[in-house]
Every structure is written in C-alpha cells, then in structure tokens.
Amino acid sequence: RKVTAEVLGQLEHLALVDFRDAEGVERLQKAIRFADQLQEVNTDGVEPMDSVLEDRCLYLREDDVTEGNCTKELLKNAREKVEEYFVAPPGNIPLPKLEDQETFLQGS
C-alpha cells in the first residue's frame, strides 16, 4: 500500500521514527503487511460492539498481594535500565535537548 507524505509525517512525529531511510520504510511496510491480515477476517453479519463486555459488569477480585520485592528479578529482563527503571528503545529522531524544550515552551 502507498502511504501519503502527510500520513508519513504524522507517523514520524508520533513515533519519533524517521521513515525516510531504508530501515524505517521496511519497518513501516512490515507493520502494514501485518495489519492487512485483518482484512482477511470474515465479519459478515457481525454487528459492531460498543464494549467487549456487552453491558455486563466486570467482576473485580480482591487485590491481594501474593509476591513482592522482586525488583531485581524483574530488571534482569531489561535490555537497558537506568537506576530501577526500564529504558524504552528510542526512535531514530533525537528528542530536543532540555534547554531547547524550555525555549519552545516559553514561546507557546
């Protein structure tokens, strides 16, 4: 499928990923191919729902803590961490530096 320049610009802004290089374009095309599989699902005669619960109340269980103090064990799964936080992979468009953000926010 073709993606317009306008949509591409919006996606780049939202995802902080530059789709103008070969890797970015391939990732986008791969995501579109994956999403296109939904077109193959037969939905004839299926009415849209406002909620997957169809007006049923959600049963809430008691929130009993059964495990805890497992931060070190959980952080072993992190590819990258800072102190006790997971670090999400960044896009390939750098975020503005803090001083640039402050300047931008003052102008708005």
User: What confidence tens digit (pLDDT) does each residue in 53-66 have?
Assistant: 666 776 777 888 88
The Cα-based distances of 98 to 36, 55, 101, 103 in angstroms read 39, 46, 5, 9
Amino acid at 53: L
| Structure tokens belonging to residue 12 | 């780049």
pLDDT confidence of 97, banded at 50, 70, 90?
low
More confident site: 34 or 94: 34
50 in any annotated domain: no
Structural domains in the chain (count): 1
52 in any annotated domain: no
6 in any annotated domain: yes
Q: Degrees (nearest 5) of the Cα angle 8, 13, 19?
A: 45
pLDDT value, residue 62: 83
12 in any annotated domain: yes
36 in any annotated domain: yes
pLDDT more than 70, % of the chain: 70
28 in any annotated domain: yes
95 in any annotated domain: no
d(CA 80, CA 94): 18
pLDDT value, residue 101: 47
d(CA 87, CA 80): 5
Task: Provide the residue range defining the domain that includes 24.
Answer: 1-40
d(CA 13, CA 94): 11
What does pTM read for this prediction? 0.37
9 in any annotated domain: yes
More confident site: 61 or 95: 61
